[in-house]
Structure 1
Amino acid sequence: MGQSLRRMNRNQSPNGVNKYKRLKRNFPLSNLKETFPDLSELPPEIGLAVLSNLNATDLCLAACVNEFWQELANDQLLWQGLCRATWGCVSAYEQDRTDEPGFSWKGLYLQLDEASLSFSADAQLGLDYLFRHNLVDNNPLAIAQFIHTTNTLHHWQVRKFLQKRSDVLEELVGLDNYANHFLPNALRTFFSHVETPNERGPYLQTLIEMFAKKFISCNKDCKLTVETISVLCYSLILLSVDLTSPKVKNKMSKREFIRNLRQATQIDDEFSGHLYDNIYLVGHIAPQKW
């Protein structure tokens, strides 16, 4: 500390005013209030624009500052934006509940948040809450849309639920559009909504077959069969584990991957090479989310 002060004294200007004093003179503390005004000093639309950058927790804390902040923080537009950003598709949005007496988007947010927490503890418990409060319609498509458009649900509970509800799984797979998508990228999108099982089994086989059918329906000119797409998907998953796992010391080479696919499928070596490059450069095809 003393060395820093001596160094500052040696660097003083001929007038005896060092750099710190010049900054203090040019930016007096009295200007701080003008630099960082209170929201009450701003037009309401600007105050709302500032608060729109907060999440739900911070917005509730902002409402505790004073009455003016409370009025802004409870604005319907702010909470409507939070609802739609957190849960993209909910049946309650289409039920025109805004005309109901006492309706508030903040209240709807809190209900959806409670439902998500309940779902993450027990999927059926969360669904019962959603149905009981008329938040989501009790049909496979509405349930699939709810799961597809939110990241608030625990992925393990989603996987456990989808294993039991094949009707919801089919609707969930149908919500994505893989037209003109490179196969590994489409598979990543698929696994971002449908959690991958920890081991190979009937459920993984069902997922791969559903994805293959959907991919072909979106890319009818790809000239590949469901069986070929399935083999490629399994190959990409195994390659992802091989290249990204620290436990695998001898990584599969590009030449080995191309040779293996040449024996299992009829695709050309150039396409196989592009598949390998994508995994090598982009990363795992289905990374775990927890």
Structure 2
Amino acid sequence: MGQGLWRVARNQHLQQEAYGETGYLSREQSRRVASSNISHTSHRKQAQGGIDIYHLLKARKSKEQEGFINLEMLPPELSFTILSYLNATDLCLASCVWQDLANDELLWQGLCKSTWGHCSIYNKNPPLGFSFRKLYMQLDEGSLTFNANPEEGVSYFMSKGILDDSPKEIAKFIFCTRTLNWKKLRIYLDERRDVLDDLVTLHNFRNQFLPNALREFFRHIHAPEERGEYLETLITKFSHRFCACNPDLMRELGLSPDAVYVLCYSLILLSIDLTSPHVKNKMSKREFIRNTRRAAQNISEDFVGHLYDNIYLIGHVAA
């Protein structure tokens, strides 16, 4: 109670001083003076309790006034690690401040290989004046050109020495790149069957369940929107590749590439049936087993049932 009376007397004294200096203080101004003193007192009480909020806020304000951390003051390894998280646009902006650090070849090399996993030029001796930053710009330009016209895009890469004129090299580039437009890529692969052959051989389906392997295949090589010769070609190539990757499983199940072809076609039709909103009467598991075994009689009923469950639970194989 004594402390409370002391605060009241102190506030009255401060108000009198303010009145003497200004001649007159409004009630609102007096209230502000009193509240500021109460706030100051609360800060002091918190400091006595072991948590000095006032000093914490003051320290935070001083850090904000200091601005961002200068990467040049850090060890080079730490600075490069921080900059490695930036994309190409942000790295270019960072080079305006930290020119030597942000233009380092290791950073741009990492950007190139994380976006375009394979290029023929990676395995060659770099020419005089070679720069990974310049290479990144060329790869980006070539990808945009490919997405507009695939033939022109591949020609651009070859003219810059980025890709060799080889179906295998082009297939590796496509397999390791995720910036290419899938519709344009589908058109290109339909015209370049030699590249398609090498692209299929890059897939490893060992010990994969058939529907999951088919999904992975169609993630890299997108299926056409309509049935036709190109879809049949894709399924045929996949069937042979799947059998080549799983010879023991094929012998155990008694499956041939032709039988895998039938199963793949059945899985695609089942995917459409179960996922399409236009199909009201969905195919049952019993119907799928009966229809599939009618086309491929050597396949066990349990194996076909597991195929149905996979599509029912996970979804379309060629979405």
TM-score bracket, shorter-length normalisation = 0.7 to 0.9
Residue 25 of structure 1 deviates from its aligned partner by: 4.5
Partner of 2:276: 245
Q: Residue in 2 aligned with 1:29?
A: 61
Correspondence 1:146 to 2:140: no
1:173 aligns with 2:200: yes
Amino acid at match of 1:239: L
Residue 258 of structure 1: CA displacement? 2.0
Unaligned 5+ runs, structure 1: 1-11
Cα distance, 1:43–1:271 mapped onto 2, change above 3 Å? same
Post-superposition offset of 1:34: 8.1
Show the counterpart of 2:103. Answer: 74
Partner of 2:71: 39
Give RMSD over aligned pairs: 2.5
* Alpha carbons of structure 1 residues 25 and 268: separation in structure 2 relative to 1, 3 Å: farther
Report Cα offsets for 1:24-51 as digits up to 9, x if no partner: 6435322457896332332121111011
Counterparts of 1:228 and 1:249, CA distance in 2:
29
CA pair 80-250 structure 1, distance change in 2 beyond 3 A: same
Q: Secondary structure at the match of 2:282?
A: coil
Are residues 1:201 and 2:228 paired?
yes
Please give the alpha-carbon distance, in whole angstroms, between the structure 2 residues aligned to 1:283 and 1:39. Answer: 48
Deviation at 1:70, TM superposition (A): 2.1
Distance 1:34 1:280 in 2: 58
* Residue from 214, 217, 223 that aligns with 1:187: 214
The answer to which of 271-280 and 198-207 deviates more is 271-280
Deviations 1:68-94 (A, max 9, x none): x22211110011111111111110111
Structure 1 residues 144 and 24: alpha-carbon distance in aligned structure 2, compared to 1, 3 A threshold: farther
5+ unaligned residues in a row in structure 2: which ranges? 1-37
Give 3-state SS (helix, strand or coil) of 1:257's partner: helix
Corresponding position of 1:121: 148
- Letter of the 1:109 counterpart: Y
Give 1:185 deviation, angstroms.
1.2
**In the alignment, what sits opposite 2:293?**
262
Aligned to 1:62: 94
Does 2:239 align with 1:212? yes
TM-score computed with the length of structure 1 as normaliser: 0.86
* Structure 2 residue 45 is the aligned partner of structure 1 residue 52: no
2:316 corresponds to: 284
- Pair 63,24 (structure 1): closer, same or farther in 2 beyond 3 Å: farther
Distance 2:285 2:52 in 1: 62
Deviations 1:6-31 (CA, angstroms, capped at 9, x unpaired): xxxxxx99x74699x97564353224
Q: In 2, Cα distance between the equivalents of 1:41 and 1:248?
A: 65
Identity between Structure 1 and Structure 2 (%): 53
In 2, the alpha carbon distance for the partners of 1:52 and 1:33 equals 27
Q: Which residue of 2 aligns with 1:85?
A: 114
Kindly tell me: are residues 105 and 251 of structure 1, through their superposed partners in 2, closer, same or farther at Cα, counting changes over 3 Å? Answer: same
Measured after TM superposition, the shift of residue 249 of structure 1 is 3.2
What is the rounded CA distance, in whole Å, between the counterparts of 2:66 and 2:279 in structure 1?
59
Query: Hey, what's the Cα distance between the residues in 2 that align with 1:33 and 1:231?
Result: 70
User: What is the deviation of 1:54?
Assistant: 1.2
> Cα deviations across residues 186-236 of structure 1 (Å, max 9, x unaligned)?
111111111110000000000000010111111112131111111111111
Output the amino acid matched with 1:268: S
- Structure 2 residue matching 1:72: 3-state secondary structure: helix
Counterpart AA for 1:75: D
C-alpha change, 1:220 and 1:35, in structure 2 (3 Å) is farther
**Taking structure 2 as the reference length, what is the TM-score of the superposition?**
0.78
1:107 aligns with 2:134: yes
Alignment-derived partner of residue 255 in structure 2 = 224
Q: How many residues align?
A: 270
